[in-house]
């Protein structure tokens, strides 16, 4: 997490579009460490391939991988389901696919937020078809009561209300990813 972040600090350049702090930088930091320790224990004998879902999971991936004390490998994919709006279209497009083979790998999908669950549902089927040994999910945020598709998530950072949020990788129109905390968004889309 950024060296300059403190619990109550709100980035001045973004302040006029941000509402309340949903998860502070300190809370994110502490929870990511916990998740890393849990993953370290669970995968001690089979270090996973971490699959980062770009772009929203970049901050989470970057911190999480350093909190895992195992020889993990990382790869990236990019999907698009939103366009510029704040509600999912339900249509998922693969923008960038993985470089590595998943056959017999223990794969852990690293996601920023599960809202309707449609994106993750699609990803699971898409990656599951490549015969990984195991396929699990580590989601930083889970929006309460919003899932249209039932999800079994092995790791969840925080359950949050359904408001649209930004920061720590999460964007609106590609902005605010570089905030250390997670905020509700009150500006215009």
Which strands form 155-160's sheet, in the order they lie side by side?
Answer: 93-96, 73-80, 49-54, 106-114, 134-143, 155-160
What is the contact mask toward Mg ion in residues 32 to 71, using x (rule: CB under 5 A)? ------------------------x---------------
Computed on alpha carbons and rounded to an integer, the radius of gyration of the chain in Å comes to 16
The catalytic position among 115, 163, 171, 180 is: 115
If one asks whether residue 170 binds ligand IMP (CB under 6 A), the answer comes out as yes
Angle, CA of 5, 113 and 131, to the nearest 5°: 125
Q: Write down the residue that tokens 């794969």 correspond to.
A: 107
> What is the total count of residues that contact Mg ion (CB under 5 A)?
1
Kindly tell me which residue out of 18, 113, 123, 135 binds ligand IMP, with binding defined by CB under 6 A. Answer: 113
Q: Which is nearer to ligand IMP, 111 or 136 (CB)?
A: 111
Which residues neighbour 144 within 8 Å (Cβ) at sequence distance 6 or greater?
159, 160, 161, 162
Kindly tell me which residue out of 77, 118, 123, 181 binds ligand IMP, with binding defined by CB under 6 A. Answer: 118
DSSP state letters, 47-90: PPEEEEEETTTHHHHHHHHHH--S--EEEEEEEE--TTSSS--S
99 is catalytic: no
Nearest approach, Cβ of residue 56 and ligand IMP (Å): 4
Enter the DSSP assignment of 163. S
Among ligand IMP, Mg ion, none, what does residue 88 contact (CB within 5–8 Å per kind)? ligand IMP
Which residues are known to be catalytic? 115
Q: Footprint of Mg ion on this chain (CB under 5 A)?
A: 56
Residue ranges that bind ligand IMP, judged by CB under 6 A: 56, 81-82, 88, 111-120, 164-166, 170-171
């Amino acid at each position: 997490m950024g060296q300059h972040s403190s619990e109550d600090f709100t980035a001045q350049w973004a302040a006029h579009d941000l509402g309340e702090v949903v998860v502070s930088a300190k809370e994110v930091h502490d929870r990511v460490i916990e998740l890393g320790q849990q993953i370290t224990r669970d995968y001690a004998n089979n270090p996973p391939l971490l699959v980062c879902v770009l772009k929203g999971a970049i901050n989470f991936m970057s911190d999480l991988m350093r909190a895992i004390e195992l020889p993990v490998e990382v790869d990236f994919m990019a999907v698009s389901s939103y366009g510029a709006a704040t509600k999912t279209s339900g249509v998922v497009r693969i923008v960038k696919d993985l470089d590595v083979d998943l056959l017999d790998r223990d794969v852990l999908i690293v996601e920023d937020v599960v809202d309707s669950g449609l994106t993750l549902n699609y990803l699971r089927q898409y990656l599951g078809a490549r015969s990984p040994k195991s396929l699990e999910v580590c989601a930083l945020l889970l929006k309460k009561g919003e899932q249209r598709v039932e999800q079994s998530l092995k790791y969840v950072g925080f359950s949050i209300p359904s408001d649209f949020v930004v920061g720590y990788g999460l964007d609106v129109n590609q902005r605010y990813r570089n905030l250390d905390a997670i905020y509700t968004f009150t500006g215009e889309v």
